[in-house]
Copies of this chain bind each other. A is one copy, B any other.
Amino acid sequence: MVGSREESRRRTTAAILAAARTAIAQHGAAGLSMRAIARDVGLVSSAVYRYFPTRDALLTTMIIESYGNLAGALAAASEEAADWRAPGRALRDWARSVPHEFQLIYGTPIPGYRAPPETIPAAAAVVAPFLAVAGGATPAAFSGSMIEAQLQPLADDLPGANPAGVAAVVTELAALVGFVGLELAGHFVGVAEPGDALYEAMLERQVGSLGLA
């Protein structure tokens, strides 16, 4: 049967990735174990190496996939409403639905792991929906010459964007990531839980700061 080998490879690869996601949810990315994955999938530990040559290669695939999943969720939300709030809400929703994937890409770096260059475009795809809606903003606080010098080359590559807008988008996205990260880690327990209202207020503040109101 032509293609059965190919098909089975696809299935096993998917099973390994699924097992790996379950594993990091329980033991963190640093505790990801090739042997535990093999056990889960029903393979002998060495067989996993037919699919991923090292543990780090498996991590890289997972990271790129997670960036892609998030970017997809954001793009879908942006399509429904050309608004800063739409991808903003989608970011938090996605993070809460797969918290370990969020931590994998935005959490503490994994000791001993160096992200290869392939992860860069995947990471950039997350920023794109936010830049599309606010890259052209000109908020006063970000209009310094230092920032212009740093971000002009990046803004030149984005139609309709300018350095101050890119700078503002980057910091506001960092703000959202910070909020969600602290919320997932339980820092808001006893302070503002659930964080829904606070997050909405933050989005409102951002819309104002970016001059999108």
Asked whether A44 is an interface residue with its Cβ less than 8 Å from the other chain, the reply is: no
A107 at the interface (CB under 8 A from B): yes
Per-position contact with B for A96-116: 1 when CB-CB < 8 Å, else 0?
Answer: 000000010011111110010
- For A210, the closest partner residue in chain B by CB is B205
Number of A interface residues at 8 Å Cβ cutoff, please give it. Answer: 58
A89 smallest CB distance to B (angstroms): 15
Cβ-defined contact, A197 with B107, below 8 A: no
Residues of B within 8 A of A197 (CB): 144, 146-147, 150
Does the CB pair B110–A191 fall under 8 Å? Answer: no
Q: Main SS of the interface on chain A?
A: helix
Q: Name the CB-closest residue of B to A24.
A: B111
- Given A182-B106, A197-B147, A123–B209 Cβ distance below 8 Å? no
Q: Is A168 an interface residue (CB 8 A)?
A: yes
Q: Which residues does A use to contact B, with CB under 8 Å?
A: 26-31, 103, 106-112, 115, 120, 123, 139-142, 144, 146-147, 150-151, 154, 167-168, 170-172, 174-179, 181-182, 184-188, 190-192, 196-198, 200-202, 204-205, 208-209
Q: A27-B112, A178-B178 are in contact. List 6 more A-B contacts (CB 8 A).
A: A29-B108, A103-B109, A106-B185, A106-B187, A139-B205, A167-B192
